[in-house]
Amino acid sequence: MKMNVGVTDRVIRLLLAAIVFTILYFTDSVTEALAISAVILGLAMIITSMLGFCLLYLPFGINTNRLFTPTKKETR
């Protein structure tokens, strides 16, 4: 499993997860189904930021990790 989530992407994911959990904690206007969905989304963001790997990036070929980005070989 190669890391495909960069440092900036990880920080953004953690901040978004914190915002989601803060909204859920301080508002009572969220329905139960929406709250469960938001918790699952928040946990997914935290897990992917900790692992440095996002499964949804694979089919699209996205890689925001500069450290493990393969370099293209020049052919002449």
What counts of helices (H) and strands (E) characterise the chain?
2, 0
C-alpha neighbours within 13 Å on the C-beta side of residue 5? 20
> What average pLDDT values come out for the chain (76 residues) when binned by 10 residues?
89 93 83 87 92 90 78 60
Contact 40, 72 (CB under 8 A): no
Q: What's the whole-model pTM score?
A: 0.75
The predicted pLDDT at position 75 comes to 62
| Rounded Cα gap, residues 68 and 42, in angstroms | 26
